[in-house]
Amino acid sequence: MDSLSSDHRTTVIFYRGLSAGMIRVSRDVLWNSIRDIWNRITENRFIVELASGKLPWSRFINYIRQDFLYLSDFRRALLLTGLTSGSDEILDLFLRHAANSIEVEKALHAGYLAGQVPTKSEKSPANKAYCQFLAYHTSSGSFHRALASILACYWIYLEVGKSLSRNLPDNAEYAKWISTYSLEGSYIESVNVVLNLCESLELSNNDYEEFISIFREGCNHEYDFWNSA
């Protein structure tokens, strides 16, 4: 990924005075709204065994194969979110994220998959459901819905990586994967830029509640994705 220094310049544009009767979400409120889901994610067998280094290699590779298939749909979701924003600056932001962060992940996957790229027919039910969720909200024409739907992927991956990095497993391959989402400064910056963008939205009460509901649904899909591995 690049340094995303231009993202910091973009965030200046995001903030302005709050209009009367409108609400802004905060990352604290968002995180508190999904603590129950987060607890289920951290207690999931896949995560627990990955943290200990005892996860069977075949299960890890199955996860990587599913994640590889997910990436093309997530790239599309990022582009649609940028287009829905109506802002050239925000579109540029998501174009960079689609081009840079996903290429980093694809390179990582290529190393694990040894050139054996999975086909779309291998998509798990959990993967299909998550991608359908993203497509539904990012093609709705509503920017806050699109942004809420993609947020879970950014944020949950970061928090899982941070949690696991506190005590990296002895397994070097697992440690390398964890470090990609926890120790890479550019990824942390990308997540913070998206969170800043979320916090800059001016929402009606109904849209505010909808944003939190969609974000929670996205986090549930994250759990199902982990669990399906």
pLDDT at 182 over 80: no
AA identity, residue 7: D
- Give the domain extent around 58: 5-13+20-228
- CATH number, domain at 110? 1.20.910.10
Number of domains forming the structure of the chain: 1
Question: Which pLDDT belongs to residue 28?
Answer: 96
Least confident of 4-13, 99-108, 113-122, 193-202: 4-13
Angle between helices 172-182 and 143-165 (to 10 degrees): 140
Average pLDDT over residues 86-93: 96
Place of tokens 């969609």: 214
What is the structure's pLDDT at 17?
A: 62
Q: Is the pLDDT score of 8 beyond 90?
A: no
Angstrom CA distances, 153 to 38, 87, 149, 191, stand at: 13, 22, 8, 10
pLDDT at 186 over 70: yes
Whether 212 has a pLDDT exceeding 60, the answer reads: yes
Torsion sign (Cα): 102, 104, 108, 114: positive
The CA radius of gyration of the chain, in Å to the nearest whole number, is 17
Q: How confident is the model at residue 57 (pLDDT cuts 50, 70, 90)?
A: very high
User: Do 125 and 229 contact (CB within 8 A), yes or no?
Assistant: no
Q: Are 41 and 226 in contact (CB under 8 A)?
A: yes
